[in-house]
Structure 1
Amino acid sequence: MRANEAIRKISALLKGAGVSASEKEAELIVCFILKTDKTALYRDNPEITEDSYQDIIARRLMREPLQYITSEVEFLDLTLKVGPGVLIPRPETELVTTEAVRLIKDNFAEPLTILDLCTGSGSIAISLAKAFPNSLVYGVDISEKALSYARENALINSISNVVFLHGNLFEPVGNIKFNVVVSNPPYIKTGDISELDPEICCYEPVEALDGGADGLRFYRKIFEQAKNYMRPEKFLIVLEIGYDEASDIQKIATDAGHKNIQFKKDYAGLDRMVFVQNVFSLM
């Protein structure tokens, strides 16, 4: 059959199983199998056999994430390897990373020392290292499995100015002082995890999702501990947050002694990131 017919068939199967964005996923599956891009796919409409995608569809109908099946995900201008044991980077994190890059470029000069906490696949750390090649970026995660992906992703993308460390938040960085701290920490309430889509709650690592009973456990730790690891003359903290957590995080940061706390919304108009800085403007 031709690719356009396969896309229709796959999309219908996925939609019937409750998979959102079924048509987009069908395109991705066909592109992956044929090792082509979307432009060439619709231009050439190549032949594809049903046998070539049966195993992938069977796994996807079990709601295994497509990114785990293909072992990769696009993140900004990077291709990252992902699989069981590591959180799949989200578009929201792309937005946070893009904003962090903008703020750093507007307010700092290299060389810089940058820290990415809860680095997972290394998506943020590698993106920042690529954007600031004369700086040194550290990525920290408590999961050795996640760090194995992060280190491989740095190699795949030819990024050499990033170092990945195993440990809990600031614990493994010793006496290093940072200009910038960025993080997408776990922020889902423990009780809400089982209600998430099967792709998330049944496959992705719970330790990368679970932010404690109120979803705020990591923000308390980060804001309290960050004061000991930031360069006092000029610093920036950028954190991804849950859409309904802004007011609580404002209080947590204020109670920890931080000032100049600002929030920014995502494209859906939901609070998605918090910035904390000292001596310069974020706007």
Structure 2
Amino acid sequence: MSIRPPGERLLDQATTTLTDAGVGSPRVDAELLLSHVTGVPRAMLRLSARPNEVQRRDYLALVAARAARVPLQHLTGSAAFRHVDLEVGPGVFVPRPETELLAGWAVQQLSARGPESPVVVDLCTGSGAIALSIVHEVPTAVVHAVELDEVAFGWAHQNLAGTGIDLRLGDMADAFGDLDGTVDVVVANPPYIPLDAWESVAPEVRDHDPALALWSGDDGLDAMRVVEQTAWRLLRPGGVVGAEHADAQGDTAPAVFAGRWVDVRDHVDLAGRPRFVTARRPADR
């Protein structure tokens, strides 16, 4: 009879606990937490993880917290986003994989400008995920970012320190007046959840992400309307804007840009769900 490695037994126990708690990815989360505690790469956990008693106790405490629906990233203190890692914790919106597509769109728009130094503004920067990805992937870009919430701003300040990004604390509605009419790309992941959607939001988001990053009026588009106005003010003629929205807003979010914008288009995520809208300021206005 073969003896199962202690790491594997511990993982099975944690997976059962997280499954019973309704966590969406119980095995993955169990493995990531054990890797975090032991320092053993996730791929090697089954064979190499030999947690001592202190590590075992710490691990079970983290599993219990995850079962209580504390976000995984709050427990590990970091979140992966495209090619960068960000420090995250209480008080800042945890960047989601879906937003990587919006960041990728911005990177493509900026990269297409060749050796120039394109100017980009990241509204509602939160942890600084999109801004950091852009400066990492397009080093020639001149990146500006703004965040309204003071706690989230503190996390962004940590993540963006030493990058040369111009990070400001303030409201996107009147931010960067000194850049009016000079920006090539505006990108935003604004709050977009309708106020009456409380019950449908996952506990990890509803109970732990800052309210300022979630709720946006009766239809979830109050912030999107501000993005539209601010982007129009900031962009040079021919400049582009991209903004994330809820999957139920595939028609209503693009409608915010109807009228004075051109090339208004909605984009789907990897699951085929509507995820972000892009638009271009006409070259002759």
Regarding TM over 0.5, the answer is yes
Pairing partner for 1:37 from 3, 20, 41 = 41
1:269 has 2:272 as partner: yes
Pairing partner for 1:218 from 215, 223, 241 = 223
CA deviation vs aligned residue, 1:122-161 (integer Å, no higher than 9, x gap): 0001111112222221111111111111111123xxx522
Aligned-residue offset at 1:103: 2.7
| Letter aligned with residue 26 of structure 1 | A
Runs of 5+ unmatched residues, structure 1: none
Pairing partner for 1:198 from 203, 210, 215 = 203
Aligned-residue offset at 1:170: 4.2
Q: Which residue of 2 aligns with 1:247?
A: 251
1:6 has 2:10 as partner: yes
Asked whether the equivalents of residues 38 and 49 of structure 2 are also in contact (C-alpha less than 8 Å), the reply is no
Instruction: Give the 5 Å matches for 1:59-208.
Output: 59-107=65-113, 109-155=115-161, 159-176=162-179, 177-208=182-213
SS at 1:27 equivalent: helix
CA deviation vs aligned residue, 1:33-73 (integer Å, no higher than 9, x gap): 01122123245243454323122122222211111122111
Which segment drifts farther, 119-128 or 236-245? 236-245
CA deviation vs aligned residue, 1:174-211 (integer Å, no higher than 9, x gap): 22131110011101111113431111111111110012
Which segment drifts farther, 167-176 or 80-89? 167-176
For residues 35 and 5 of structure 1, the distance between their equivalents in structure 2, rounded to whole angstroms, comes to 18
For residues 259 and 110 of structure 1, the distance between their equivalents in structure 2, rounded to whole angstroms, comes to 24
Identity rate, percent: 29
Pairing partner for 2:50 from 34, 46, 52 = 46
- Give the TM-score normalised by structure 2: 0.90
CA deviation vs aligned residue, 1:91-149 (integer Å, no higher than 9, x gap): 10112111221232235542011100000000001111112222221111111111111
Which segment drifts farther, 68-77 or 52-61? 52-61
| Letter aligned with residue 97 of structure 2 | P
| Letter aligned with residue 15 of structure 2 | S
- Give the TM-score normalised by structure 1: 0.91
SS at 1:175 equivalent: helix
For residues 140 and 110 of structure 2, the distance between their equivalents in structure 1, rounded to whole angstroms, comes to 13
For residues 251 and 174 of structure 1, the distance between their equivalents in structure 2, rounded to whole angstroms, comes to 26
